[in-house]
Amino acid sequence: MGLNKTVQNLFWQTLGFFIAVFYLVYRLLLPKKQGSHPVSRFFRKVFEHQKARTGWGITLLVIILVVNFFFSPPVKSAQAEQTTLETPENVILTETTYQLPVKGWITQGYHWYHPAIDISAELGEKIYPIGEGKVIKVEFRKWGYGHFVVIDHQQGYQSLYAHLKEIKVEPGQEVDKSTILGSIGMTGWTTGPHLHLEIYEEGKNINPLEVLPEAVW
């Protein structure tokens, strides 16, 4: 019973659709006449049928949805435009991602009384900058940091490398990730060969592990 009703509704919807198309063509192409045209009277009877009115309402809705879907121009969302505008900035951040300066393992982490990390490594192991930048300080001391280097990475970041055995860069020199700054040593206050690494953001110490890749403890 339900199937027969569905078939009937589908029939009236289809009939209403084609009649509507034919009627529109008829009204647009054929000249108007005085009085009621026989074709008009036929259409009137069809559209006054209860099932036809219900089916035609659904048909109109489907037609509107189909037309909007296939003929509406694609609209770019604000999020898509924002993503396009931010692409250059994302590229810059990717190119300046920091790296570990030396192969080794962390023997002391970041604390309020030790605002750095200590990376233990073999004596003489090569040390590289965490990222590209410019050498702004090179000092040789017998105490404290011992021999150390400070690099300005711009964007508010600086890094300090202490207890070096030897230093191979000079103040004002531009460096990148492949530049050798020096080697692991035991200068200054130290009990074993390691690199004392400090990182500053806007002049304040931050935990290096917040910006460096995962390191081995």
Strand partners for 109: none
Cα 176 from Cα 89, distance rounded (Å):
20
Residue 190 lies in a domain: yes
**pTM metric for this prediction:** 0.57
Domain match, 178 and 132 both: yes
Q: Which of 174, 169, 79, 100 is nearest to 133 (CA)?
A: 174
Q: 113 and 63, same structural domain? A: no
108 and 200 share one domain: yes
pLDDT at 79: 39
Give me the CATH number covering residue 104: 2.70.70.10
- Count: domains in the chain: 2
CA dihedral 91, 92, 94, 97 (to 10 degrees): 180
Is 179 in the same domain as 126? yes
Specify the pLDDT at position 52. 55
| CA dist., res. 83 & res. 11, Å (int) | 49
Geometric angle at alpha carbon 129, from 124 and 131, rounded to 5°: 160
* Domain of residue 54, residue span: 2-71
Looking at the domain assignment, is residue 157 inside a domain? Answer: yes
Residue 89 lies in a domain: no
- Whole-number pLDDT of residue 61: 59
Q: How high is the pLDDT of residue 213?
A: 86
As to burial, measured by CB atoms within 10 angstroms (0-12 exposed, 13-18 middle, 19+ buried), residue 35 is: exposed
Q: Is residue 152 part of a domain?
A: yes
Please check whether residues 66 and 103 belong to one and the same domain.
Answer: no
Asked if residue 87 is part of any domain, the answer here is no
The pLDDT of residue 104 is: 92
Does residue 78 fall inside a structural domain?
no
Same domain, residue pair 65 and 150:
no
211 three-class SS: coil
> Tens of pLDDT along the chain (217 residues)?
445 555 565 666 666 677 766 666 665 565 555 555 555 555 555 555 555 555 656 666 566 555 455 444 443 333 333 333 343 343 333 345 899 999 999 999 999 999 999 999 999 999 999 999 999 999 999 999 999 999 999 889 999 999 999 999 999 999 999 999 999 999 999 999 999 999 999 999 999 999 998 766 6
| Same domain as 190, residue 120 | yes
Are residues 110 and 182 part of one domain?
A: yes
Q: Are residues 104 and 29 in the same domain?
A: no
